[in-house]
Amino acid sequence: MTRVTIYSTGTCPICDKTKNLLKKWSIPYNEVRVDQDQAGLKEMLEITNHARMVPQIAIDGKWIGGFTELTEMHMEDQLDEFMES
């Protein structure tokens, strides 16, 4: 089961960087392209309290933030703990 969702667009270089890091860390993810999926955009807005920038990342439906927050979690070993629970 994929626990990580990344909300992205097709023209976002930081989204690509985030997906590449998740692949490098062997963390499977589901990508929701909010530029092509209106239901996905609505879902992102609800989860993130109306964030408009991408990428936005959720684990088990809980919003953790964007690229910076993801890398900080990884550097502090919180991402491993989060994924194990």
State CA 38 to chain mean position distance. 17
Strands 4-8 and 62-65, by their bridges, are: unpaired
The predicted-structure confidence for 26-64, as pLDDT tens digits, reads as follows 899 999 999 999 999 999 999 999 999 999 999 999 999
Whole-prediction pTM value?
0.90
Separation between Cα atoms, residue 59 and residue 44, nearest integer Å: 12
